[in-house]
Amino acid sequence: MKKIGSILLATTLALTLTACGSSNSSANQEVTPSGSGSTGSAKKPIEITYWYSWGDKIAENNENLVKMFNESQDEVIVKAEYQGSYADQHSKAQAAFAAGNAPEVWQNEIASVGIFAESGMTQELTAFVEKDQMDMKDFIPGLMGNSYVNDKLYALPYLRSTPILYLNRTMIKEAGLDPAGPKNWQEFEEYARKLTIKDQRYGISMPIDIWYYEGFVRQSGGTMISEDGKSAAFNNATGIDPVKLWLKMKDEGIMNIGTTDDAGAQAKTDFHNQRSAMMFSSTADLTNNMKVAEEQGFELGTTFMPANHTYGVPTGGANLVMTSGLSPEKQEAAWKFIKWMTSKEQTIYASSYTGYLPSRVSAVESDEMKKLYEEKPLFKVAVDQLEYAGPRPMQKVYPEIAKIIKDEILRAVVDSSITAEAAVSEAAKKADALLNK
């Protein structure tokens, strides 16, 4: 999964949606899913548009699946369109909805499912699930937390991920370290120290990323937002200790923390070019990283994000959603596509092709996935890590809070006079103000 870089600010979303009500007047219509809607074999296929994010192997996977779907039946024709990052896609979907020409099906980054559902842009899916008697228990429970909004189903898991720790095992072996990788924060710090060669490579390169911060907070036994959703829950040791660790490693010169807008891409470049020995990134990058490692001549490894008091990671990636306000025919076509894309067979294909998590229990237990895990055990690391995974916050203002946290931590990275305590406290203060508007 790729993760969300920076999503729409909730205030921007609210302003734009105010202007789009008249363009989608049927957004809140009662859903009465029909059958195929066919009145004869000569009926013209229904055409719908599907928007997806990210390139390379992930783009190939999306295009391949759409081609396979179109060839598998003659009732629906899907046109796949690349839209950049999740943030790009969300912004474009917002604008398209306001103009009345939104795609029928699109990828919704999981932390933003609630924003778009509560704004009336996406269709509630329970009626479709019930009509087809879809077995919802087959979806991996740890991936369902960002599918429901106010106890109603608005999205189905598609390309889902967790962050994992990628390792250059060639460097690790040369340094005399266990190639399995660090198991906890103390070992993580020691690995970075022993793998660093001054003016040549860092132990690890990383951006200040909300996804990784959420993971480190979870590893410390904390959460981001209080249970009642009214206050920040990270203004304590669980939120401060991760920043302390990062600043300590940065000051020692064993962690390179990027401060530019392309810091995430730069961290990947450093790892690929062997200017760093470790990297946090999505399991969605696995097949591409395997390809790069082979080209660059080093052995790739993967392992859990290291534990503090416990292991812990947020889930990530995208769910599939249906735009609200569609005609019954378009609804049925969109549902047919969503149902097919999230089925066992397509889950196996997408996971094997990219490294994204299989979202169905039946896929994990399939002979195909078992064979893959036996032949290429790097694929199974993220699946095993799901035991310690949890959903991301879905408050409308969370995208703004995420940006605030990132900005405050970055201030501490570039200004040594700002302590971890001060950075986290300021972020929590601003988060509380947003949560209590």
pLDDT score of 71 more than 50: yes
- In the block, residue with structure tokens 């979870």: 218
Q: Which pLDDT does position 41 carry in this prediction?
A: 52
- CB-facing half-sphere around the CA of 257: CA atoms within 13 A: 20
pLDDT score of 201 more than 90: yes
pLDDT, one tens digit per residue, over 101-133 is 999 999 999 989 999 999 999 999 999 999 999
Give the residue-averaged pLDDT of 3-8: 39
- CB-facing half-sphere around the CA of 121: CA atoms within 13 A: 32
57 vs 296: CA distance, rounded Å: 18
pLDDT score of 330 more than 90: yes
- Please report, rounded to a whole number, the percentage of residues in the chain having pLDDT higher than 70: 90
Identify the CATH class of 163-314+397-435.
Answer: alpha beta
pLDDT score of 93 more than 70: yes
pLDDT score of 7 more than 90: no
Q: Which pLDDT does position 437 carry in this prediction?
A: 85
Structural domain boundaries of the chain? 10-19+43-161+316-388, 163-314+397-435
pLDDT, one tens digit per residue, over 371-429 is 999 999 999 999 999 999 999 998 889 999 999 999 999 999 999 999 999 999 999 99
78 vs 49: CA distance, rounded Å: 6
pLDDT, one tens digit per residue, over 177-189 is 999 999 999 999 9
Pairing assessment for the beta strands 46-52 and 105-109 based on DSSP bridges: parallel
pLDDT score of 32 more than 70: no
* Per-chain mean pLDDT for the chain: 91
Name the architecture of domain 10-19+43-161+316-388: 3-Layer(aba) Sandwich (3.40)
Q: How does DSSP assign 91-137, residue by residue?
A: HHHHHHHHHT---SEEEEEGGGHHHHHHTT-B---HHHHHHHT--GG
- Residue 331 contacts residue 131 (beta carbons within 8 Å): no
Q: Which pLDDT does position 13 carry in this prediction?
A: 40
Q: 163-314+397-435: same fold as 10-19+43-161+316-388?
A: yes
Give the residue-averaged pLDDT of 261-277: 96
Q: Which of 30-39, 78-87, 133-142, 212-221 has the lowest mean pLDDT?
A: 30-39
